[in-house]
Amino acid sequence: MRIRSYTIDLIALVFIYLFVAFFAAWFVDFNAHPIEDAAMLMRYSSHFADGYGIVWNVGEAPVDGATDFLFMVAIGLLVKTGISLEFATRFLAFAAHFVTIGVIFLSLRRTFNAPRLIAVGTSLFLLAGPGFFYVVGYFGTTVFALFACISWWAALDIIQYGEDQKKAVLFSFASLITGLIRPEGVLLTGLMLLVILFIKGWKDTRITFLSYTTVFLVLGGAYFLWRWDYFGYPLPNPFYKKGGGTIYYESMVASYAHTFFMNIYLLPAFAAGLLFQETRRKAFGFLALIVGFATFFVLLSNNMNVLGRFQYVTFPLAAMVCWPLTQGLRTWLKIPEWTIASVQQRVFYSLLVIIFLGSTAKLERDVYNIHYHHDGKYYFALALSEYKDSGYRLATSEAGLLPLYSQWTSLDTWGLNDQWIAHHGIITEEYLEEFDPHIIMFHAFFSPVASAKVQDDWYDMVTVLKTYAESRGYVLAAAYGETPYEAEYYYIRSDFPESAEIIRWLRETEYYSGVSGKKLINYVPIVP
């Protein structure tokens, strides 16, 4: 009987993957270059693959601007085998999303003995969310989600059936890998451990607790000491720029909003779990995991949180526990177990499940059916790559596409990829003078024909760049914007051979927005 059950599950899993492949082929547009923020990590992977270490510029000291550490290393290792950087990045992201869907199905079947229709529908519900959006944009979001789900599956199995050495070790090592992919993985899996303790109690979780703490203290501690020695600082460079000990209440609100709307159709299961005594303790624990993780983002600014990618992991984690949370409700409604239900009942409940999951998936998909657009910076970077061996230098606030595809020595003027700026708060003219850039590019919330409406840290940075460029005779080649209140400025030094050609390219090309896809206007008055 068990062999037959496994065989049918395998057939169901094959169906799921065929459906996912069909969905990706017909409904996902993979015709996009990396999104700006994803391109930063890819630059590190490229240098790592070429044997230069984890560096922003070849020949410089290591810097930990690639927050997705293990994802960055995995891309580099694939590139070393001869695979292109773009294919390696997207392959890992797509494969992780693919496997995560299977993890949800198997966890529901093996740990909670959910009916196959429920397991299939819940796993496929993941297609309705923004997962493929991250895959198309070259983000490692789905890789982090995969290992978080594996860790959570191990935790749920301990909660459901009790602990043993094998489960404890699996949970501990999966948690370590999750933390190595992204640093908040340590906080997320730590919350999972607390959920286990809360639901099962200390007496029945001692092996798990000791295994987890041992793995993190020994192996995690060794990694932490290595990275501190290698990079010179204990934490990732973006933390010092985006966090630095400040409390960001607006980021917490944004985190709650992303988490709520991403999981809005799963929340009724949590409400049902809280209503009934037999599921209330689990519901509190599971909800604490989701809300607690969302709360952690009060420590970081909300910059670069494209479509809630930092909170996306809560979506598959929540999906994995919806079925067991409805146990009390099913008992109250006198819904029979699937194995003893009549044919008529099975047909009726199957139709209800299909209608509910289908309609909510459609609503969710309508929200996250977002398309990327080709960015003018990508094409300019390709044009600059013709001079990659000339020793020219680029200073830019947009440290993704331009540094990656131009392959110029680049300065991230915001500081996510520069330790000095991250630790000193803002770039200075003296620091810029030392770098001596040939091109200065920045994204400003003003233009040559309109003043800034808001003056903040970003405004202070671009003011330094603008003042530096104008005081040293740089040519303002272009300030491309959709409206006069936001523009991408390009200042070009005039004392190197290709400067006139680069200025001409910028002024004559059709430059498009990577956000809206619209052709942008050059607000620089061109005098013949």
Contact (CB, 8 A) for 479 and 443: no
pTM of the model: 0.94
Has residue 6 got a pLDDT over 60?
yes
pLDDT of residue 528: 44
What b/e readout covers 370-402, taking b as 16+ CB neighbours within 10 angstroms?
Answer: eebeebbbbbbbeebeebeeeebbbbbbbbbbb
- What pLDDT score does 335 carry? 78
Say if residue 70's pLDDT is above 50: yes
CA dist., res. 428 & res. 421, Å (int): 9
Question: Averaged over 376-405, what is the pLDDT?
Answer: 96
3-state secondary structure of 483: strand
| Of the candidates 379, 378, 387, the residue with the CA atom closest to the CA atom of residue 501 | 387
Position with higher pLDDT, 180 vs 116: 180
Reported as a single tens digit per residue, the pLDDT across 228-243 is 999 999 989 988 888 7
Kindly state the tokens that stand for 327: 């146990």
State the SS3 of 38-75: HHHHHHHHHHHHCCCCCCCCCCCCCCCCCCCHHHHHHH
φ, ψ dihedrals at 245, nearest 5°:
90, 0
Long-range contacts of 219-228 (CB under 8 A, 24+ apart): 219/176, 220/176, 220/179, 220/186, 223/180, 227/64, 227/69
Q: What is the mean pLDDT of residues 182-202?
A: 96
> ∠109-114-117 over CA atoms, to 5°?
95
Query: Which is more confidently placed, 243 or 137?
Result: 137
Average pLDDT, the chain: 92
Task: Please give the average per-residue pLDDT across 405-411, as a whole number.
Answer: 97
N-term to C-term CA, the chain: 84
Which tokens belong to 40? Answer: 């930063």
Pick the closest to residue 399 from 63, 49, 143, 29 (CA basis).
63
- pLDDT tops 70 at residue 294: yes
Return the structure tokens found at 42: 């890819």
What pLDDT was estimated at residue 527?
Answer: 45
Would the pLDDT of 338 be above 70? no
Assigned token pair, 108:
């529901």
Alpha helices of 59-140 — where are they, by DSSP H? Answer: 69-80, 85-110, 116-124, 131-136
| Mean pLDDT, residues 396-425 taken together | 95
Q: What's the whole-number mean pLDDT along residues 51-56?
A: 96
Reading phi first (left if > 0) and then psi (alpha if -120 to 50, else beta), residue 436 is in: left
pLDDT digits (tens, 9 = 90+) for 446-503: 999 999 888 889 999 999 999 999 999 999 999 999 999 999 999 999 999 999 999 9
Q: What's the DSSP call for residue 518?
A: P
Chain segment 101-119, per-residue pLDDT in tens: 999 999 999 999 999 888 9
**Is a pLDDT exceeding 90 seen at residue 339?**
no
pLDDT in tens, 79-106: 999 999 999 999 999 999 999 999 999 9
344 compared with 524, residue with greater pLDDT: 524
Q: And the tokens for 280?
A: 């209330």
Q: Which of 39, 40, 71, 73 is nearest to 54 (CA)?
A: 73
Domain boundaries, given as residue ranges, for the chain: 2-368, 376-522
Are 44 and 54 contacting, i.e. CB atoms less than 8 angstroms apart?
yes
What's the confidence (pLDDT) of residue 148? 98
